[in-house]
Amino acid sequence: MGKVYLVGAGPGDPELITIKAWKCVREADVILYDRLVNPELLEESKQGADCIYCGKFPTLHMMKQEKINELLVRYAKQGKTVVRLKGGDPFVFGRGGEEAEALAAAGMDYEVVPGITAGVAAPAYAGIPITHRELGNSFAIVTGHCNTGKPADVKWESLVTAVDTLAIYMGVGNLPYIRHELLKHGKPKDTPAAIIQQGTTNLQKTVIGTLDSIVDVAEREQIENPAMIVIGEVIQFKERIELLKQMNGHGRATDVPSSILTS
């Protein structure tokens, strides 16, 4: 019997992959990789390794999950070292739990190799700390997309009061619905909101608004997936840092909106 490694490739920047994950990629006989995996990582695979694309788009799956599970088991039974390479972390909206269950049911040996998830990394690359002693002591990782489309199963009413910051994955298409749910359950409309598109990559783009305005901002700036939505006061940190830079000779304080000056 071979062995399967459920590997997190990180959020996009190839240098953010862990050393252990990098070793797995270099030693694998078979790599089943997802759409958001940086192609540069596949260049590290050994000669003769089979690299199989298993990409999933929000509304189109190139390979169904059942087929992926079947391939993992099949190649492991052939005695091969198999890497299931996923963007971010395999257990954060990556269906790694489903694959681990399928492998365990088939009696296959497997190991989970965690990765840096976009909910923390993308805001950090945009200058937004996901927690801050003054601005946010808690955060929740939330899906913005479910099997039924809109994330109706998410307890938005609880999230409004339970945590300071929301990091929402795969939510751009459902952004109007998400905004409506948060406002309906009492989230202030002037709560800062940001969207980081293609986070940690050379194509990263960040837009900032409020919960009330972020839908219009996203439409105007033509924001698309993959993107992280961050909602919370921690976004003020980015504005504060930019203000400090301007006040220290990198710009003029008068260039900054008055709302930031008083934050």
What pLDDT is attached to residue 244?
81
Give start-end residues of each CATH 3.40.1010.10 domain in the chain.
3-116
Residues 169-179 pLDDT 10s:
999 999 999 99
Residue 8: enclosing H or E segment and its boundaries? strand 3-8
Catalytic residues: 34, 56, 170
Q: CA-CA distance, 230 to 240, in Å (whole number)?
A: 17
pTM, full prediction: 0.89
Residues 73-95 pLDDT 10s:
999 999 999 999 999 999 999 99
Residues 93-132 pLDDT 10s:
999 999 999 999 999 999 999 999 999 999 999 999 999 9
Mean pLDDT of the chain: 91
Average pLDDT over residues 43-70: 86
What pLDDT is attached to residue 83?
98
Amino acid 188 reads P
Alpha helix locations (H) across the chain?
A: 19-27, 39-42, 65-77, 96-105, 118-125, 156-162, 175-184, 214-220, 235-245, 258-261
Give start-end residues of each CATH 3.30.950.10 domain in the chain.
119-240
Q: Taking 90 as the threshold, does the pLDDT of residue 224 lie above it? A: yes
**Beta strand 192-197 pairing with 205-210:** antiparallel
Q: Taking 60 as the threshold, does the pLDDT of residue 259 lie above it? A: no
CATH superfamily of 3-116: Tetrapyrrole methylase, N-terminal domain (3.40.1010.10)
The dihedrals phi and psi of 119, each to the nearest 5 degrees, come to -65, -20
Fold classification of 119-240 (topology level): 3.30.950
